[in-house]
Amino acid sequence: MFEIESFDIQLETNFIGRNFIYADELSSTNEELLRNKKLYTKSGTVLLAEKQIQGRGRKNRIWHSSKGQNLTFSILLSDEKNLNVNINHVNLLTSVVISNAVENLYQLRSELKWPNDVLIGGKKFAGILTETSVQGNKFELAVIGIGINVNQTVFQGEYNYPPTSLKLELRHEIKRESLLAEILNLFEEDLVTLLKSPDSILNEWRSKCKMIGDKVSVIDGDKIKTGIFDDIDENGFMVLKRDGGFEKIHFGDVSLAL
């Protein structure tokens, strides 16, 4: 059982997570926030579900997560100031935040995989799916969906990357309330930094990505592109060096090439 009071005591934010909604079971926290725009309006709202029936992953995959063991939640951004940032930056920032939260609380190092997976020893324990709603030529809202394998130790079903959890890596149970509070505290802090200096977030992401400089394959649909992962550009897109030139990659699954 998630103890809301314990989480609340550890939350040090001004607006992220101050409107906290706890759900036992629903389809998908992302879908719920996107579908009920009139119901969920407050920027910084966090919706957490113990179980998602249709948890969404990137590229229309399912996000599998056992009930009550992990963290599956979404953060709503709906205010003009925070919607004015580059949404790709928010994506990268979120993976940096998860990595830093885990390092601060458990002294456990993790690495980042483009665009926004968080891995330990080559296994994935967290994924991010950011979805937006647009009105006219402006973002009306952004929903940052975060799935973290916390205390689950058995993984069945299909995973596009080998899964792990914090409990498997640390060999002890994790207090989900402390982890969520730390993530939201850092998220708000880093959002402020992002508004002033996106470069510092991009550089932190680069320092945590161990694939830069490696030969990688990027799979997008039925296309496979192989090259050297040169860098990420100012928008957070991957710069792939191939055939003597540089190509910007906007989507795709990346793995080390043999």
Phi-psi region of 215 (alpha: psi -120 to 50; beta: other; left: phi over 0): beta
Strands 123-135 and 138-148, bridge-based pairing:
antiparallel
Give me Rg for the CA atoms of the chain: 18
Angstrom CA distances, 1 to 6, 164, 177, stand at 11, 21, 10
Identity (one letter) of the amino acid at 149? N
> Residue with the closest Cβ to ligand BTN?
127
Closer residue to ligand BTN (CB): 131 or 230: 131
Closer residue to ligand BTN (CB): 127 or 198: 127
Supply the minimum distance, in Å, between the C-beta of residue 246 and ligand BTN: 26
Q: How far apart are CA 241 and CA 130, in angstroms?
A: 27
Query: What strands lie across the sheet with 20-26, from one edge to the other?
Result: 20-26, 46-52, 71-77, 138-148, 123-135, 117-120, 111-113
Supply the minimum distance, in Å, between the C-beta of residue 187 and ligand BTN: 14
Question: What count of residues does the chain have?
Answer: 258
Supply the minimum distance, in Å, between the C-beta of residue 28 and ligand BTN: 3
Closer residue to ligand BTN (CB): 31 or 169: 31
Closer residue to ligand BTN (CB): 146 or 174: 146
The site for ligand BTN (CB under 6 A) is made up of 28-30, 52, 55-58, 61, 63, 72-74, 117, 127-129, 145-147
Supply the minimum distance, in Å, between the C-beta of residue 198 and ligand BTN: 22
Supply the minimum distance, in Å, between the C-beta of residue 213 and ligand BTN: 24
Closer residue to ligand BTN (CB): 57 or 108: 57
Q: How far apart are CA 36 and CA 46, in angstroms?
A: 14
Supply the minimum distance, in Å, between the C-beta of residue 127 and ligand BTN: 2
Closer residue to ligand BTN (CB): 59 or 81: 59
